[in-house]
Amino acid sequence: MKKIVRVFLALLGGTLLFFCLMSALSMSTGVVRTQINFAEAWLAFITALFGPIIGLLVALIGHALHDSVILGGIWWSWVIADGLFGLLLGLATQRLDLVRGTLTRQKLLYFNIWQLLANLIAWGVIAPLGDILIYGETLKSAFVQGLTAVVVNFGVIAIFGSLMLVAYNYFFRHQR
């Protein structure tokens, strides 16, 4: 029962914070419909804490909620890509054991390599192909947006996601 409550609270809290960050803390990249989004760093952190299923659900629900409330309609190709990103990164962070074991520089390096690969798959392939197939976006437009998202998401997660993991390790793992 305790585990179910913990998972529910992680999902609820993770999704609400993801939605708030996505809605309030994003900046334009200069590329249409593509933003620097600090919610992605939170997503990386929450997947490291709770695993791939929570990462998948937080991204799917949080992104769909953001699109529905803020944009007035859900952009499914990017919601699906975000969910896939949360799943892929959750699988990698679970394997790296970032929050339960000792956090080393090597683990952070691997974390950032894996998050780059997950970003490339989600935003460099899935989102652009979805934009083309679902919404009839042009090839150039879809891939410019997707590759811009890869670059900015990688940077945000490399900086802020890594800092969250280091802080968590220091305050919650190191103090024992």
Measure the CA–CA gap between 88 and 114, rounded to whole angstroms: 9
Question: Residue 17 has which token pair?
Answer: 């914070």
- What is the CATH class of 2-173? mainly alpha
What number is the average pLDDT over the span 9-18?
A: 89
Answer whether residue 176 shows pLDDT above 60.
no
Measure the CA–CA gap between 86 and 48, rounded to whole angstroms: 10
Q: What is the pLDDT of residues 19-44, one digit of tens each?
A: 999 888 887 777 777 788 899 999 99
Say which residues have a Cβ less than 8 Å from residue 12's Cβ, sequence separation at least 6: none
Q: Kindly report the CA angle at 47 between 6 and 171, in degrees rounded to 5?
A: 75
Phi-psi map region of 26: left, alpha, beta (phi>0 left; psi -120 to 50 alpha): beta
Measure the CA–CA gap between 123 and 82, rounded to whole angstroms: 8
Measure the CA–CA gap between 128 and 137, rounded to whole angstroms: 8
Supply the pTM of this predicted model: 0.89
DSSP 96-139: HTTTTS---HHHHHHHHHHHHHHHHHIIIIIHHHHHHHHH---H
With a pLDDT cut of 70, the percent of the chain lying above it is 98
Closest by alpha carbon to 41, among 174, 159, 171?
159
pLDDT of residue 56: 96
Q: What is the pLDDT of residues 103-150, one digit of tens each?
A: 889 999 999 999 999 999 999 999 999 999 999 999 899 999 999 999
Of the pLDDT bands very low, low, confident and very high (cuts 50, 70, 90), residue 59 is: very high
The whole-angstrom distance between residue 103's C-alpha and the CA centroid of its chain comes to: 20
